[in-house]
Structures are given as C-alpha cells and as structure tokens.
Structure 1
Amino acid sequence: MANHFDLEEQEQIDQIKHFWKTWGTLITAAVVVVCGGFAAYNGYNYWQNRQAAQASGLLDEVDAAAIANDPQRIQHAFDDMKSRYPSTAQAGQAALTAAKVMMDAKNLDGAKTTLEWLAKDGKYDGQKAVARLRLAAVLMEQKAYPEALKQLEGSVPPEFAAAFADRKADVLVLQGDTKAAIPEYQKAHAAIDPRNSYRRVIEAKLNAIGSSVQVASAKTTGSAQ
C-alpha cells in the first residue's frame, strides 16, 4: 500500500513539475505584473496626496499674500507653486487668486499672463473656464476685443454656458455689433434659472440695446426647470 501511495505521490509530483515547467514562467510574470501594478497604483496615490499636501502649504502663502495685498510676495509664491506643483488643483486656485490681486492693482499684463497659463495648462475644466472668462475681462479692459472673443469660443462645461454667452455679448456690444450681441444675451437669459436675479441684469442689457427677452425662450426655460 505504501508503495502504491508513493507511486501516486510521485506521479502527482511529476505532473506538478511538468505543469510548472510549461506554465511557471508565465504565471510568475503575471503575478509580478499584478503586484507591480498594485504597488504602482498605491505609489501614485501616495505621490498625489503628498503633492496636494505640499501644494496646500504654498496656497496658504498665496492667500496670505493676497490678504496682505503684497504683489511681489504673491508673485513669488505663485511662481513657486507653478514650477513645483503645476498639475494640482491648488495651482489653479493660486493662479485665480494671483490674477485677481493683479487686476485689482491694475496690473493687467501680469493678470493676463497668469490667466493665460491657467487657461492653457490648467488640469481642471472648471478652473480653465473661469480663467478664460476672467482673461476675456482683462482683454476687454485692454480693448483687445477680437482676442477676448477668442477666449469665449469653443466648448465649455454646461454650468458656464450662460456666463460665456453673457460675456461674449458684452464684447460684441463694445465692438458696436449689437445685432450679434442680442442672440448671445438671449442664450444667456434662457440658460439661467428663472429664480436667479441676474436674469434681470441681462434683461436690462437687452433693453439698453433696443431689444427684449424673447417670450418663447423665457417660456421654454421656465418649463425646463
């Protein structure tokens, strides 16, 4: 009986050896890939969290410089943020904060450069959309109307559609093209929640250029809410 079991055990051992000889390399490689991928995923998450934590410290510095109204300090902190953590949400927020301080200080060229960076290289669609809106405002101040309109072209997140249409209409009015501005104001009005008081502002703008809200647009918007 013992010999019988010994033979069976030897046969099983031989089968296992044959199996590993045939498939062992492939199985080992697969295990290495899976384990390596898991380690890489954890490592990437750790790196992202570490980047975000360090970037938050610099964002605090940007905010403190903004409160102190210190343009040089805010520029230095933002440049540091942009060079070290450009792909973080904090870098985008720092750009918006820095640009606002520059605009308030009438440093339009500085604000323009900062917003151009975010609009082009930002990693988050919402921040990029805000940057484009504010960049258009800077260009309007500089009377660079064609360049402002370029910033307002193309696709944007749905929640920004009304703001983009409204800003585009403002630029067109400044260019003297009120005829083209009217449908943009109408589009903005239709996209805004009827409970939002800013709709009255758009209605005032339309009245100022000799137009009014299309009844069909208003009814359509109201029924959609």
Structure 2
Amino acid sequence: MAAYDLEEQEQLAEIKAWWKQYGNRLVNVATVVALIVIAWQGWNWYQRNQVGQASVVYGVLQKAVQEKDTQRIKAASGELLEKFGRTPYAVLGALTSAKAMVEAGDAQTAKAQLLWAAEHAKDELRDLARLRAAAVLLDEKAYDQALAQLDGASGPAFEIRFLDMRGDILVAQDKKADAVSAYRTALAKLDELEKSGKSGGAGLEWQGESNAIFRDLIGQKIDALGGSK
C-alpha cells in the first residue's frame, strides 16, 4: 500500500511539474480560443442584426418608390448606405433609388447612388450599376467618365450591353468609325451567344428586350452611321 501511495505521489509530482512548466501557456491558449469563439459568435450576431435592420429600411424604400415619395426615397437609401453599407440591401437600395430618381428627373442623386453601387457591388449587380451610371453620365455629356465606367472586364451577361453603350457614347463624341466598330463587335458577340444556344446572356432581361429586337436596334444604329456600306 505504501508503494502504491509512493507511486501516486510520484505521478502527482510529475503532473505538478508539468503544469508548472506548461500550465500558464495552456491557460493562455484556451483563453485566446475562447475569445475567438466569442468574437466570431458576436460578429455573426451583429451581421444578422444588421441584415435584419437593413431589410426593414429597404422595405420602407420600396414603399416610398411605389408612392413616388422622393424625400423618403432619399432618406431611406441614404440610411442604407450610411448604416448598412456592408449588407446586400445597400446595393439593392442604391439601384432601386437610382432608377426612381432618374424617373423623377433627379439625375444627380441617381448618379451618386449608381457610382456608389458600381464601387461596392459585386458580379452582375456591379456591372448593372456601371452600365446605368454610364447611361446617366452620357446624358450629362460627361463622355470620358461614361467610358471609364465601361473600362475593365464585365461578366458575360453584360458584355454585349457594354459594347452597345460604348458605341452610343462614341457616337455622341462624333467618333463614328469607333462607334460602328463597337456595334459590330456587339453583334459578333450576340452571334456567338446564339450559336452557343444560351439565352439572356446579353444582359437584356432587366430591359425586357429579346435578342432579336436588340440585334435590330444595333443594326439600325450601324445603318444610321453608314456602317453597313
């Protein structure tokens, strides 16, 4: 029995020695891990809370758009960008607000919303914002800025629309040959799209245009510039 007690005491002494050497380090690691877990859970809660609040504001914005209340539109979209800029609702709000403000004749507010969306959105929503921003800048005769929105790669869904818009801007700059080239490239891309059997790849769904109608429209632009000769 005494031998057994001695063995236990030796094991206990080894444990104490190990804890003395590594105990503080182990506690520190455990504390860090716990803090990371707590921080991660807190961040997830914050994100969910932000998205929830943003959805409510976005609902207010939609109602204001339906009622054509420009002041409430500005207030709601401004709140989305300022307080909830990292949520998906901010980009959707900017695009929704911009469309409503264009219809209301407030191009300046629309431009600000679209430029914000072009900078912060991702993928197709970013391309849509760039395209609409280019259209607003074209109306303002800010041609270089409009073309700048079309620079860089775009997703396949908007490539043809970008080329068409580029052609429109070049026409406004009286660069007819360059415009015809852009339009023809758009038609070539449309041919590739149709041969591949894909649909909706021209980014036309948001304007309700079919590929056939869009093709005719581009053809008329080329004809008007004498490019068909």
State the 1:200 CA deviation: 4.4
Alignment partners' CA distance in 2, 1:207 and 1:22: 85
Stretches of structure 1 that go unaligned for 5 or more consecutive residues are: 213-225
Alignment partners' CA distance in 1, 2:156 and 2:8: 69
The answer on whether the counterparts of 1:166 and 1:188 sit within 8 Å (CA) in structure 2 is yes
Alignment partners' CA distance in 2, 1:30 and 1:199: 64
Alignment partners' CA distance in 2, 1:125 and 1:29: 42
Q: Which moved more, 1:179-188 or 1:137-146?
A: 179-188
Name the counterpart of 1:167: 165
Q: Which moved more, 1:46-55 or 1:145-154?
A: 145-154
Q: Aligned-pair RMSD on alpha carbons?
A: 2.0
State the 1:199 CA deviation: 4.0
Number of aligned residues:
210
Name the counterpart of 2:218: 202
Relative to 1, partners in 2 of residues 1:14 and 1:183: Cα closer, same or farther, differing over 3 Å? farther
Name the counterpart of 1:63: 62
Name the counterpart of 2:208: none
State the 1:125 CA deviation: 4.1
What whole-Å deviation, never above 9, does each CA across 1:16-61 have from its counterpart, x for those lacking one? 1111111112222222222221221111111111100100000001
Identity %: 37
The answer on whether the counterparts of 1:88 and 1:123 sit within 8 Å (CA) in structure 2 is no
Q: Does 1:110 align with 2:109?
A: yes
Q: Does 1:33 align with 2:42?
A: no
Stretches of structure 2 that go unaligned for 5 or more consecutive residues are: 200-210
Name the counterpart of 2:17: 18
Name the counterpart of 1:82: 81
State the 1:151 CA deviation: 1.3
The answer on whether the counterparts of 1:89 and 1:124 sit within 8 Å (CA) in structure 2 is no
Name the counterpart of 1:217: none
SS at match of 2:82: helix
Name the counterpart of 1:54: 53
Name the counterpart of 2:131: 133
Q: Matches of residues 181-196 of structure 1 in structure 2 within 5 Å?
A: 181-192=179-190, 193-194=193-194, 195=199, 196=211
TM-score (norm 2): 0.82
Match of 1:153 among 134, 151, 154: 151
SS at match of 1:156: coil
